[in-house]
Chain A
């Protein structure tokens, strides 16, 4: 099974989760996801997802000037984003436990 296929379905949720505790800019969020174990996630996926979530009204964004290097565009969860994280999180847990059960049944059977 290819994790990149799985990732496609949960990328929104993963990005929302990465922003739950702390705002971040694009590359920063990519690093968080990879550090969390999603090694296969690509920069374009994170960037595109951020754009999409922002356009959907789930994120706010602001620019932070940087002394060395370019300005950075930070993203953070707004109220709608937090609500979406919670809702999607529940869906995922339900889905994941269903899959777990399914696999366990097959393995014990």
Chain B
């Protein structure tokens, strides 16, 4: 006799007591007086659980009720009517209907009683409960704003998710085996928690179901689904020197232009907004997030100096003995910064 069996007996007796709630108090007390000891005798006979050996507490109570009907010692008091009676009657009806369904449905699936099959599923429920618990915890404590997916991710970490999942499943199994948190208020807490989890699971199920059926718009734009390209309004291209490249064009692998952002600029001070005149990125150069360490390429002289010897200066320079560079290589001239350095895609 260990505490697990003791708890099992206690719970079984409580459920029998609940199922007999409509009997007169004296009769019920008489019937239940020795039940814990009696069940302990039975439990000690072998290792099978009470429910496996005796059926559900409700079925046991029903049988007990039948034997109580003709009590020789006489428990003649008619059941007292009180305010709870309608509820107790209703509950007794529900229990009776369930018991009936139990026996009727069982043979359809090859078991004497449906409840016997359901009690076989108990460990599966423990695992599911652990998963739901982990999901609920992740849902409550994850404030990263990302979609959690089907694992209990906290802060988007799959590792944390797996650890949390393992922990919750083990805890749930231990609770299921009554090694943790049974008896008294803890059982009520457990029951309330279970109701919460079931509601949470139903909500999560329908949410996941609708997400799968309608994944929504997840291109760069307004999906709100954690896409990193959401909320991009402009693009700033910097060259290897850290200089802002004006009028940049973006193309994908097929040569199709990449269009993102919107072509309106807003003055942060006045709130005035206007359509950009720039053909490439950035639409609004004055809103560049990083200042350029080098002078901006809008200054022609600086840009030219940092490049190759300046062919433009050739003709006017005294040292310009050879006019060749200007004549022969106009195409090699560095792009004039005032004109947009467009880059044609190599097709």
Complex partner residue of A11 from B35, B61, B62, B67, CB under 8 angstroms: B67
Chief secondary structure at chain B's binding surface = helix
Chain B residues lying within 8 Å of A70, measured Cβ to Cβ, are: 1, 37, 40-41, 44
Tell me, yes or no, whether A34 is within 8 Å of chain B by CB.
Answer: no
Chain A residues lying within 8 Å of B71, measured Cβ to Cβ, are: 52, 55-56
Closest chain A CB from B13 CB (angstroms): 12
Complex partner residue of B73 from A45, A55, A68, A69, CB under 8 angstroms: A55
Complex partner residue of B31 from A8, A11, A48, A72, CB under 8 angstroms: A48
Interface residues as binary, A29-59 with B (CB distance below 8 Å gives 1, 0 otherwise): 0000000000000111101110111011110
Closest chain B CB from A20 CB (angstroms): 18
Known: A55-B30, A55-B72. A72 touches B67 (CB 8 A): no
Tell me, yes or no, whether B68 is within 8 Å of chain A by CB.
Answer: yes
Tell me, yes or no, whether B63 is within 8 Å of chain A by CB.
Answer: yes
Complex partner residue of A44 from B1, B63, B74, CB under 8 angstroms: B63
Tell me, yes or no, whether B38 is within 8 Å of chain A by CB.
Answer: yes
Chain B residues lying within 8 Å of A68, measured Cβ to Cβ, are: 44
Instruction: Count residues on chain B whose CB falls below 8 Å from chain A CBs.
Output: 28
Q: How long is the Cα–Cα vector from A56 to B34 in the complex, in angstroms?
A: 16
A44 and B72 contacting across the interface, CB-CB below 8 Å: no
Closest chain A CB from B48 CB (angstroms): 12
Closest chain A CB from B55 CB (angstroms): 8
Closest chain A CB from B24 CB (angstroms): 13
Q: How long is the Cα–Cα vector from A11 to B63 in the complex, in angstroms?
A: 12
Interface residues as binary, B36-63 with A (CB distance below 8 Å gives 1, 0 otherwise): 0110111011000000011000001111
6 interchain residue pairs of minimum CB distance: A48-B67, A56-B72, A55-B73, A44-B63, A69-B44, A56-B73
Interface residues of A (CB under 8 A from B): 8, 11-12, 25-27, 42-45, 47-49, 51-53, 55-58, 68-73
Please name 30 pairs of A and B residues whose Cβ atoms are closer than 8 Å in the assembled complex, sorted by A.
A8-B66, A8-B67, A12-B72, A26-B38, A26-B41, A42-B54, A42-B60, A43-B54, A43-B60, A44-B62, A44-B63, A47-B34, A47-B38, A48-B63, A48-B64, A49-B67, A51-B30, A51-B34, A52-B68, A53-B72, A56-B73, A56-B74, A57-B73, A68-B44, A69-B1, A69-B41, A69-B44, A70-B40, A70-B41, A71-B37
